Amino acid sequence: MENIILIGHGSPKKDANNIELAGRLLHNTIHPNCSGDCVRVAYLQFAEPEIFDAIRECVESGAERIVIHPYFLSSGIHVTKDIPEIIRKAEETYPDREFIYTEPLGIHQKLVHVVMERIYDANGLKPQDIEKRSFEIISEEMDLSSVPPEQVPIIKRVIHATADFEFRNTLVFHPDAIKTGIDAIRAGKDILTDIEMVRAGINKRLLEKWGGRVICSIQQSAFSHQQSEVKTKAEMGIESALKENNNIGIIAIGNAPTALLKVVELFNQTLTPDPNPLVIGVPVGFVKALESKALLSAQKFPFITNLSRKGGTPVAVATVNALLKMAEGK
């Protein structure tokens, strides 16, 4: 078993001894969903735990390999002398354990990005500047060179909405999906959503420029609450809207797998407008969510989906809003 110890200098000012947050972030990054104490913190002086105490705790918890990282910017006397002396003492005390001592933070390109963010923050960013900088960070931290160019704006906006880079690999596009969506927007087609939250998040100002509306029929369903013996409200709302409105160009489902399954069923019965609308199916959850999206990904009509349990309103909204921006030429 391996443990990691982040070492801070420590300060007489208690509020300054806060590298525990960095430790938690590191732990969540390298060991997601782990409840153990794989990453610990320690201080050289003025704060607890001290370095040797943290090492002892690692040993007592069963760690056979202990990685020690000096959370310092440069290789000063603490990094080159004080901390190594403590490690040598630990090696003598625990000769059957392996100790790895890393370089300090030092000079690194990503630290330059951190400084830039601090400068942006100090200048008081406007909302549009924050969004612009967010997209810049996404471009810096993720390689999209192998992604078809027309998909990039959607992938970026989904990641911007979720802060989840996994969507880079899980989003799936039908070859005609983006063209179908943009053509529908420019033709003044309506956008149908499964729930009100998705409807509320879509940029109606951009859509109304082309003459389209965002509609949701969940409130018109026959039941006031979901019943296991009948269709869900979202499913009934989608079905009734498709039967009553022949101007639907995009269907955005971010919540209800049952609604997505109903769409696939209706489309295969040709009970939908011609040509078929673009289906954005990204419901989130553990029951039927992934199954419904896998089924959608095998269809011949235009779709955008993601093959994982993740998804939800932010993903559906971000996808539609990306298409709206693209239709506008941005």
Least confident span in 14-23, 92-101, 113-122: 113-122
- Write the CB contacts of 124 (distance below 8 Å, at least 6 apart in sequence): none
> 66 has which bridge partners?
3, 99
How many Cα atoms occupy the beta-carbon half-sphere of 21 within 13 Å? 4
Q: How large is the greatest C-alpha to C-alpha distance in the chain, in angstroms?
A: 79
Structure tokens given for 53: 């105490």
Q: How far apart are CA 292 and CA 314, in angstroms?
A: 18
Residues 201-220: tens digit of each pLDDT: 999 999 999 999 999 887 65
Please provide the size of the chain in residues: 330
- State the pLDDT at residue 227: 45
What is the CA 107 to chain-centroid distance, rounded?
A: 28
Structure tokens given for 166: 């996994």
Q: How far apart are CA 256 and CA 288, in angstroms?
A: 9
Domains and CATH numbers, the chain: 2-101 (3.40.50.1400), 108-141 (no CATH), 148-327 (3.40.50.10230)
Instruction: Give the other-Cβ count within 10 Å of 116's Cβ.
Output: 14
Instruction: Give the other-Cβ count within 10 Å of 248's Cβ.
Output: 23
Phi-psi region of 153 (alpha: psi -120 to 50; beta: other; left: phi over 0): alpha
pTM more than 0.85: no
- Any idea which residue has 């006031």 for tokens? 224
What is the CA 317 to chain-centroid distance, rounded?
A: 14
User: Quick check: 291 pLDDT over 50?
Assistant: yes
User: Quick check: 261 pLDDT over 50?
Assistant: yes
Residues with a catalytic annotation lie at 160
pLDDT > 90 fraction of the chain, expressed in percent and rounded: 62
Least confident span in 40-44, 76-80, 141-145: 141-145
* Residue 216 and residue 244 in contact, taking contact as beta carbons nearer than 8 Å: no
317-324 average pLDDT score: 97
- Any idea which residue has 């407008």 for tokens? 273
- State the pLDDT at residue 134: 81
> 190 has which bridge partners?
248
DSSP state of 277: P
Q: At what angle do helices 109-122 and 127-141 cross, to 10 degrees?
A: 180
3-state helix, strand, coil in the chain (%, to 5): 50, 15, 35
Least confident span in 30-34, 44-48, 63-67, 189-193: 30-34
Q: How confident is the model at residue 312 (pLDDT cuts 50, 70, 90)?
A: very high
162-166 average pLDDT score: 92
What is the CA 229 to chain-centroid distance, rounded?
A: 35
Q: How far apart are CA 237 and CA 258, in angstroms?
A: 11
First to last CA, the chain: 50
For 263-267, the CB contacts below 8 A with 24+ separation are 263/238, 264/292, 264/295, 264/296, 264/299, 266/239, 266/242, 267/299, 267/301
Instruction: Give the other-Cβ count within 10 Å of 11's Cβ.
Output: 14
Question: What is the pLDDT of the chain when averaged over all its residues?
Answer: 88
Of 319 and 133, the one with more pLDDT = 319
Pairing of strands 171-173, 303-306: antiparallel
* Residue from 112, 307, 277, 248 nearest 179 by CA: 277
* Residue 302 and residue 176 in contact, taking contact as beta carbons nearer than 8 Å: yes
Angle at 78 between CA 72 and CA 79, to 5 degrees: 55
Alpha-carbon distances, residue 55 vs 11, 35, 61, 83, 93 (angstroms): 20, 19, 10, 12, 10
* Residue 88 and residue 51 in contact, taking contact as beta carbons nearer than 8 Å: no
Structure tokens given for 328: 């506008």
Of 77 and 224, the one with more pLDDT = 77
